[in-house]
């Protein structure tokens, strides 16, 4: 779900929380570190996301944040902020050379990796660990 979250829209925040849960706080964050990465440069995206992005490539950056039930990828275009909420059960991640690619349904975003390979691998492992916990817990009730 991609939403314009520029204005402090309480309904959009509720929808995001209901889809991917709340952000990890420092107390319940799995590794005791931040649950987000610094900005990434967007190199490629699906048609829906590309239509929202600026034509000026140097402006197209995003942040990734881990929530209890999924990821939130947030990017700004001019004065507007867009949030893409991806539940873990729909998330697919590829680590291709210097790029990370996140897929969900028909949407995808490819990001240039600006971190060291250790930092990237640690963060990806953190995402996979939280995803595994989430999927294990949710499958117990099905």
Pairwise pLDDT comparison (101 vs 119), residue with the higher score? 101
Helix (H, G, I), strand (E, B) or coil at 62: strand
80: closest CA among 116, 107, 51, 103? Answer: 51
pLDDT at 11 over 60: yes
pLDDT in tens, 39-69: 788 899 999 999 888 766 556 888 888 998 9
Residue 132 CA to residue 124 CA, distance in Å, equals 12
Helix, strand, coil fractions of the chain, as percent rounded to 5 = 30, 35, 30
pLDDT at 35 over 80: no
Residue 35 CA to residue 126 CA, distance in Å, equals 9
Q: What is the pTM for the complete model shown?
A: 0.83
């Amino acid at each position: 779900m991609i939403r314009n979250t520029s204005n402090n829209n309480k309904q959009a925040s509720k929808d995001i929380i209901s889809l991917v849960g709340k952000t990890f706080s420092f107390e319940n964050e799995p590794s005791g570190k931040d649950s987000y990465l610094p900005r990434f440069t967007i190199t490629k995206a699906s048609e829906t996301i590309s239509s929202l992005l600026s034509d000026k490539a140097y402006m197209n950056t995003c942040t990734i944040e881990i929530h209890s039930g999924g990821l939130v990828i947030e990017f700004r275009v001019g004065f507007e902020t867009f949030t893409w909420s991806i539940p873990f059960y729909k998330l697919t991640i590829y680590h291709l050379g210097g790029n990370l690619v996140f897929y969900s349904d028909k949407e995808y975003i490819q990001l240039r990796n600006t971190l060291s390979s250790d930092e990237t691998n640690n963060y990806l492992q953190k995402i996979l660990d939280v995803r595994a916990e989430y999927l294990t817990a949710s499958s117990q009730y099905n």
